[in-house]
Amino acid sequence: MFRRPLIALTAVASLCVSAAHAAQDEITLYTTREPALIQPLLAAFTAQTKIGVKTVFVKDGLLERVRAEGERSPADVLMTVDIGNLLDLVDAGVTQPVKSSVLESAIPAQLRDAGSQWFALSMRARVLYAEKDLKLGAFRYEDLASPKWKGKVCSRAGQHPYNTALVAAMIAHDGEARTEQWLKGVKANLARKATGGDRDVARDILGGICDVGLGNSYYVGHMKSAKEGSDARKWGDAIQVVKPVFGAANGGTHINISGASVAKHAPNRERAVKLLEFLVSESAQNMYAQADYEYPVRKGVALDPVVARSIGEIKIDPLPLTEIARYRKQASALVDKVGYDK
């Protein structure tokens, strides 16, 4: 008489246990990075550890979302594609320190927080795209303001994080006054309004609108590896890549990072740390290089062949990323002051 309700209750209990087990074997990643770019890495992590990763793409307002959720936040790992955004999370107190010998041995000191709050996972360089037949030798970022490039420079918006980070680096090197004059010079050299993306710089070089412009290194890999005959491949084939430096010829090239922190209220802290440790493993760093055309943070990992051939190894600007990030607000204000995006 009571068998059917008992069976039903047993089934419900089993489902609850299964759901609880599933929750224990899954972590939640909040990321400002396009999920498709990191999905191969996350799939490899799950295959190796049996820990699933629920990815929540937060294009804008990551900090505001995590702060509003407070202790109820399901986020275990917070990932961004810009050091400034990562530092904002740390400064707002929504991350927690992680002491891990795996992370410390794999990531150079200048690419991780001294307080163990954030860790770089991959790097990209801010390089010069130039018309393929131009005769260029050494190139400094400062050279973009030279009158010789009048009407020959293409650029994405100055307020984009990729460019404000570069302007911040310029302030750190040369001071605000000199950076303002430099930014005015680059603005005066623009061939069109500062808009679009980095790949649009290559597109407009092919179209004869401009001769040079700045872009991230990983777009070069994507364009030059695109299907033969596609627009992206045509853009990639139209450019050569030069590694600019700050100041003297022996200076370094500006880099930015993708990086991550463990959320302050992470429900699954140990599994979150496992994900970070996996992402700096040799296999994962190879995937960053081969699938995303980025520069690995782990030494000894080979570059993608297209990146190696088109750009090569980078001599990194020695200024600490945290030092550069201090000037982000001033950089943004300068961009507006000179009317760069108007």
With respect to residue 199, please indicate whether it lies within any of the assigned structural domains. yes
Does residue 275 sit in the same domain as residue 239?
Answer: no
**What are 49-93's pLDDT values in tens digits?**
999 999 999 999 999 999 999 999 999 999 999 899 999 999 999
pLDDT cut 70: percent of the chain above it: 93
Asked if residue 192 belongs to a domain, the reply is yes
Same domain, 320 and 190: yes
**Residues 322, 112: Cα–Cα separation, whole Å:** 10
Do 262 and 216 share a structural domain?
A: no
pLDDT at residue 249 is higher than 80: no
Together in a domain, 29 and 150: no
Q: How many CB atoms lie within 10 A of CB 275?
A: 24
Distance CA 332, CA 136 (A): 30
Q: Give the tens place of pLDDT for each residue, 4-63.
A: 333 333 333 333 333 334 445 899 999 999 888 899 999 999 999 999 999 999 999 999
Question: Could you tell me if 119 and 241 lie in one domain?
Answer: no
**CATH number of the structural domain spanning residue 242:** 3.40.190.10
Residue in 160, 139, 157, 158 with CA at minimum distance from that of residue 148: 139
- Give yes or no: residues 282 and 210 share one domain: no
Statement to judge: residues 102 and 129 lie in one domain:
no
- Let me know if residue 264 belongs to a domain: yes
SS3 state of residue 78: strand
More confident residue, 252 or 18: 252
Would you say how long the chain is, in residues?
Answer: 342
Residue bearing the bigger pLDDT, 138 or 99: 99
Range of the domain at 140: 125-254+314-337
Residue 111 is given by DSSP the state: G
CA distance 308 to 304: 6
Whether 20 is covered by a domain: the verdict is: yes
Q: What is the pLDDT of residue 5?
A: 38
The residues near 88 (Cβ < 8 Å, ≥ 6 apart) are 63
The verdict on 188 and 250 lying in the same domain is: yes
Tens digits of per-residue pLDDT, 139-189? Answer: 999 999 999 999 999 999 999 999 999 999 999 999 999 999 999 999 999
Judge if 156 and 224 occupy the same domain. yes
Comparing 193 with 24, the larger pLDDT belongs to 193
Mutual orientation of helices 176-189 and 161-174 as an angle, nearest 10°?
130
What's the structural domain count of the chain?
Answer: 2
Which amino acid belongs to residue 190? L
Q: Mean pLDDT score of the chain, rounded to an integer?
A: 92
